Structure 1
Amino acid sequence: MTEIQTRGRKETLDKDLDKFVRMEEAASHVSRGLAGPGFGLLFIAAAALFAAIYVAGGQNSALIIIAAMLGGYMALNIGANDVANNVGPAVGSKALSMLGALVIAAVFESAGALIAGGDVVGTISKGIIDPATVADTNVFIWAMMAALISSALWVNLATVLGAPVSTTHSVVGGVMGAGIAAAGFSAVNWPTMGAIAASWVISPVLGGLIGAGFLAFIKIKIIYQDDKIAAARRWVPVLLAVMAAAFSAYLALKGLKKVIHLDGLEILVIGVVAGLITYFVSKPVIHRQSEGMENRNQSVRKLFNVPLICSAALLSFAHGANDVANAVGPLAAVVHTAEAGEVIAKVSIPFWVMLIGAAGISFGLLLFGPKLIRMVGEQITKLNPMRAYCVALSAAVTVIVASWLGLPVSSTHIAVGAVFGVGFFREWYTSKSQRRRDYMTRKYNRRRPNGAAAKATPAAAAPPEEARRRMLVRRAHFTTIIAAWIITVPAAAVLSAVIFIVLDAAF
């Protein structure tokens, strides 16, 4: 065999091996893409098995098992879409790795759902449709089934498209649409819907204002001080105390009521005591961490890493308490109606129903959450630990207040509203800062060709495309998210009405 023939065979063999390598890489990529849906299907099957164990031999057990599967599917989608708002800022600011954020969110989401989720579940299951107008148990069950299916499908589609829509909007819209299809417009409790709709508008605005307020406070009290480290030692423990007070008061209100009844004054005292303890414990810790740091903004940011992680955990707890209702509210209504054979305003929430919701949210986060975590934390506006802390803390406070009131507000609106608030505040501040305008003018001029940078150009004279580029909140994401928020309720309602009509005709 000649040398040329040997070389030709080697080249052919190398090409064949390259083809096999490419095929293996493609197969590996496809298998990774199918792993998430595969585990999701396993969870839905486990939810069905779990429900079958609890309702074995009971009345309408098949309906309950199907409803449990739908509730599990909805919970997976909540974890994939909504939970990104809780930990996205921490990941975007590099205070948390993706793995750390997933673990923290999964643990605290489950804790919030199991400890404090009951009150909001009651609002979802009984507050939107008047049971008196849908007295037929079969009609009511199919209405709740349609609401679960439509809302889960809509959130699933939004997650695939990378849009952080409100799962609360989806469920409320689904329940409303099915109720209208079942018994007409009179079936919907419009005053309750009005209050819920008002909270959807108020929540993002309030979250944005609180987030901007915290950022302004940090800038004035810490960043713009001559001695930034001393200012941080003074005020970071205060911010930690505020967070601890809110968390403790919330836990006392929601968790301890199963053991002991506490009035408003006692809950306030618990919050104040927890805040004071946190302040005096964290003060020396922050002092030690700041020793030897340079008097720079970059140094101060490091002090916010731990507070940011704590606030992300708090927000995850509050989100689990609030949004577990989206998955198990209609499911709880189906379980009671199928077992008792009656439609009533108030139902007890079985523990196994709450467990499906809590586990589904955590699994959905772990399987599908990273995509939207990156979008919320990195693509709307640039976040550092201080800004991300303001977002997380403001969102947590707003969610806690809403949960106290029993309103199924949208955590998506609150958290993303806080991100927008921080970003728009920075835009407003930089527009008023002469130093910032001079810096941007020099930066713009340096990019101009033919030595034109030597001539100063006022910031206001920059072309429109340059002005848009300087905006600190990406307008494309802003308009897309607002549009998704607007369309979610009617889309879920129409889809739910169609699904109810089909189910009612088929069964």
Structure 2
Amino acid sequence: MATPPVNQWKTLDKDLKRIGLLEEATQFVARPLVAPGLALAFIVLAGLAAGILMGAQAGHLIVVAAAVIGAYMALNIGANDVANNMGPAVGANALTLGGALVIAAVFETAGALVAGGDVVKTVSTGILAPEAVPDAAHFIWAMMAALLAAALWLHLATWLGAPVSTTHSIVGGVVGAGIVAAGFGSVKWEAIGAIAASWVISPILGGVVAAAFLAFIKAQIIYVEDKIAAARRWVPVLIGIMAGTFAAYLAIKGLKKIVEIGLGEAVLIGLATGFLSWALSVPMVRRQSEGMENRKKSLKKLFALPLVVSAALLSFAHGANDVANAVGPLAAIVHAVEFGSLSDNVTIPLWVMVVGALGISVGLSLFGPRLIRLVGSEITKLNPMRAFCVALSAAITVIVASWLGLPVSSTHIAVGAIFGVGFYREWHAERRARRLGLQKGKPVPPEERSRRLLVRRSHMLTVAAAWVITVPASAALSALLYMLMNMLA
């Protein structure tokens, strides 16, 4: 049997190489389309589920359309807002990105389903007075326009890499559509004024509290002679403060469906939980610190586990609060379609809550990593101690704000806390450098001081601009969408 000519094998190799390159190119082109494809599949499933559950009753197509928009909104919340809870833990290397996505998905869903109902009622009827709208049809179009406008704005902000408040996005959407539908008198302006005040209050409070905790940790643990002994004394105290704060917060948010809890009872629950956590963590920290070297690197290990726990609890609290932004208007639409009237007391069907909860988790898994990296590592460098201060600040600030009756944004608090930690580090580093320079008789030159900046100013300007423009942008977009819907209806 004659062997084939050498040229024949060369031709075959070339053809196989071309096929291989074509497959690689196809995979490269298709990879970016996987996440949008899965997101589209979720949106379609949400619409199908709404259609099946509503049956053939009047207005079922409106509910299907609203469910589709609500699912799209939930995806965008997961893509944008959840980064604030998980970003610090990932940036501090206490969690891998995959681990953060799993923990956030589980706890966001649990928070939305267990404790999300009360906030949904506030978003659906607390901004736009239903009695001021001419009829149920106008109210439905207003809510649908608000939902779509907020979702589109969040999508744009995520694409630009700006963590914005989803609460402010949906509030702006409801205001814009409400003004066009029923005039300026239909909007509860006192609520809007309080939200505008929170643009300043939230980040400043978050930043100050986070910086104060970091200053305490540096003074009492990091810059002392026996770091391990100091950590054994103070880390359990910080864990107790964290546990107590979250217990009080979750008691207010999570137990309302079972029993009405006032702020006083929640604080008592927090104090009891905090004391118990402190008592349990004393032997745990002692055991964990045995054999550790007396240096800063060892301390990071002691803060890693508390940081992971705090990130999980923040996700639960976020799910309880921000599911309302996805399904509040959807719940109002379903109620208006089913009963043909408007009401301040909106009943939230279970399937509506499930759409919001699952949508947040799916959006986080598909599109969240980019903003998680930005929040966790691109604003300022975080380690477990600094990230722990951010998480603790977020919880404490929300509790204090609730007590004072101030409306605050969890997004603004968390990002403000990261900036607060970064600016405190800058101030502290310059102070130490100046002191060192004075001791050596060499003042630090201005160019060296500018080189030591530890916070990226470009991110600060982008984030601040996105925060300020969120309400007016979503309001304008919502007003435009409402007019278009009315023209097409």
Q: Which TM-score band applies after superposition, normalised by the shorter structure?
A: over 0.9
Check if 1:378 corresponds to 2:363. Answer: no
Amino acid aligned to 1:225:
V
Check if 1:284 corresponds to 2:276. Answer: no
Amino acid aligned to 1:46:
L
Amino acid aligned to 2:227:
K
1:441-497: CA deviations, max 9, x gaps?
A: x9xxxxxxxxxxxxx9742342xxx64442100011111111111222221111111
CA gap of 1:484–1:261, structure 2 versus 1, over 3 A, is closer
1:61-111: CA deviations, max 9, x gaps?
A: 111111111111100000011101110010011000011101111111111
Aligned to 2:419: 420
Looking at structure 2, the residues matched to 120 and 156 of structure 1 have their Cα atoms a distance apart, in angstroms, of 23
Aligned to 1:83: 82
Aligned to 1:93: 92
Looking at structure 2, the residues matched to 306 and 285 of structure 1 have their Cα atoms a distance apart, in angstroms, of 11
Deviation at 1:326, TM superposition (A): 0.8
- Determine if contact 2:115/2:255 at 8 Å carries over to the other structure: no
Aligned to 1:494: 476
Looking at structure 1, the residues matched to 286 and 252 of structure 2 have their Cα atoms a distance apart, in angstroms, of 33
Aligned to 2:488: 506
Looking at structure 2, the residues matched to 389 and 206 of structure 1 have their Cα atoms a distance apart, in angstroms, of 16
Amino acid aligned to 1:170:
S
Q: Which moved more, 1:412-421 or 1:163-172?
A: 163-172
Deviation at 1:436, TM superposition (A): 7.9
Looking at structure 2, the residues matched to 303 and 170 of structure 1 have their Cα atoms a distance apart, in angstroms, of 38
Deviation at 1:351, TM superposition (A): 1.9
Aligned to 1:200: 199
Looking at structure 1, the residues matched to 120 and 407 of structure 2 have their Cα atoms a distance apart, in angstroms, of 8
Aligned to 1:182: 181
Aligned to 1:474: 456
1:399-457: CA deviations, max 9, x gaps?
A: 45556789764322111111001001111111211378659xx9xxxxxxxxxxxxx97
Looking at structure 2, the residues matched to 43 and 398 of structure 1 have their Cα atoms a distance apart, in angstroms, of 35
Q: The residue matched to 1:321 in structure 2 has which SS?
A: helix
Amino acid aligned to 2:369:
P
- Determine if contact 1:318/1:396 at 8 Å carries over to the other structure: no
Check if 1:434 corresponds to 2:433. Answer: yes
Aligned to 1:445: none
- Determine if contact 1:211/1:394 at 8 Å carries over to the other structure: yes
1:262-290: CA deviations, max 9, x gaps?
A: 44443332222211111111111111110
Deviation at 1:296, TM superposition (A): 0.3
- 5+ residue gaps, structure 2, are none
Q: The residue matched to 1:257 in structure 2 has which SS?
A: coil
Q: How does 1:245-264 map to 2 (within 5 A)?
A: 245-264=244-263
Q: The residue matched to 2:256 in structure 1 has which SS?
A: helix
Q: How does 1:292-307 map to 2 (within 5 A)?
A: 292-307=291-306
CA gap of 1:26–1:393, structure 2 versus 1, over 3 A, is farther
CA gap of 1:244–1:497, structure 2 versus 1, over 3 A, is same
- Determine if contact 1:168/1:408 at 8 Å carries over to the other structure: no
- Determine if contact 1:322/1:403 at 8 Å carries over to the other structure: no
Give the fraction of aligned pairs with identical amino acids, expressed as a percent.
Answer: 62
Deviation at 1:161, TM superposition (A): 2.4
- Determine if contact 1:120/1:403 at 8 Å carries over to the other structure: no
- Determine if contact 2:206/2:414 at 8 Å carries over to the other structure: yes
Q: Which moved more, 1:211-220 or 1:19-28?
A: 19-28
Q: The residue matched to 2:343 in structure 1 has which SS?
A: coil
Q: How does 1:220-239 map to 2 (within 5 A)?
A: 220-239=219-238
Q: The residue matched to 1:433 in structure 2 has which SS?
A: helix
Aligned to 2:107: 108
Looking at structure 2, the residues matched to 401 and 63 of structure 1 have their Cα atoms a distance apart, in angstroms, of 41
The number of residue pairs the alignment matches comes to: 485
- Determine if contact 1:168/1:409 at 8 Å carries over to the other structure: no
- Determine if contact 1:115/1:254 at 8 Å carries over to the other structure: no
Looking at structure 2, the residues matched to 41 and 108 of structure 1 have their Cα atoms a distance apart, in angstroms, of 23
Aligned to 2:467: 485
TM-score (norm 1): 0.90
